[in-house]
Amino acid sequence: MSRSKSSNQWLKEHFDDQFVKQSQESGFRARSAYKLIEIAEKFKLFNGLQAVVDLGAAPGGWCQVVKAKAPKTELVIGLDLLPIEPIEGVEFIQGDFTEDAVYEQLLRLLGNRKIDLVLSDMAPNLSGMSAMDQPRSMLLAEMALEFCQQALQPGGAHVVKLFQGEGFDQHMQNLRQLFNKAVIYKPKSSRPRSREVFAVATGYK
């Protein structure tokens, strides 16, 4: 069976993509590594990092970035539904962040330790139906923010992927109540036609 025109177009776009090429050359597992590099440099997120949690970590590109750009970080934990190939110096939990047992496992791994940076690139399996996808996406963002309230230390930062739509403005409002500053940012490496943006919140109160 021949590939559809749209999938051929996607493959061409993917392999022509400068960030795909860069990630292959640099050894990063995904082009999304460049989203975090750009965000971290712009907002100086990697200064003095001690502990980081990455939610929705597969295939591990963001954890690779933390280890490469902030090598003195003592604790890096990645969590995802999907298995992730090991990365030296990174602890991985495979499981569903929305399940209590997995959440408790993450808290146990942290112990009493507070963290400096919570990353969330989580997204639901998209159905293409906004009425279903948007609430699921916002629920993940809300759960990531609840985790920040439990585990982030004062002055800490949070980066979360969001899709603009119902619940978006309210979530930004919630971020601004809990952090000194919260802004919306779209990295150059985020595909223009993608609805994703990132909320970058700094100075946890």
- Signed CA dihedral, 203, 158, 93, 188: sign only: negative
Residue 13 lies in a domain: no
First vs last C-alpha separation in the chain: 56
Residue 161 annotated among the catalytic residues of the structure? yes
Burial of 55 (0-12, 13-18, 19+ CB in 10 A): buried
Residue 15 lies in a domain: no
Residue 162 lies in a domain: yes
Share of the chain above pLDDT 70, in %: 86
Q: What is the total count of domains within the chain?
A: 1
pLDDT, one tens digit per residue, over 53-99 is 999 999 999 999 999 999 999 999 999 999 999 999 999 999 999 99
Band (pLDDT 50/70/90 cuts) for residue 28 is confident
Q: Is the pTM of this model over 0.85?
A: yes
Residue 11 lies in a domain: no
CA distance 120 to 132: 20
Residue 83 lies in a domain: yes
Q: Which of 69, 161, 188, 205 is catalytic?
A: 161
The range of the structural domain enclosing residue 106 comes to 29-204
Residue 14 lies in a domain: no
Q: Could you tell me the CATH number of the domain that includes residue 117?
A: 3.40.50.150
Higher pLDDT, 148 or 127: 148
Beta strands of the chain (E only): which ranges? 51-55, 75-80, 91-94, 115-120, 152-163, 179-185, 196-204
Residue 77 lies in a domain: yes
Residue 95 lies in a domain: yes
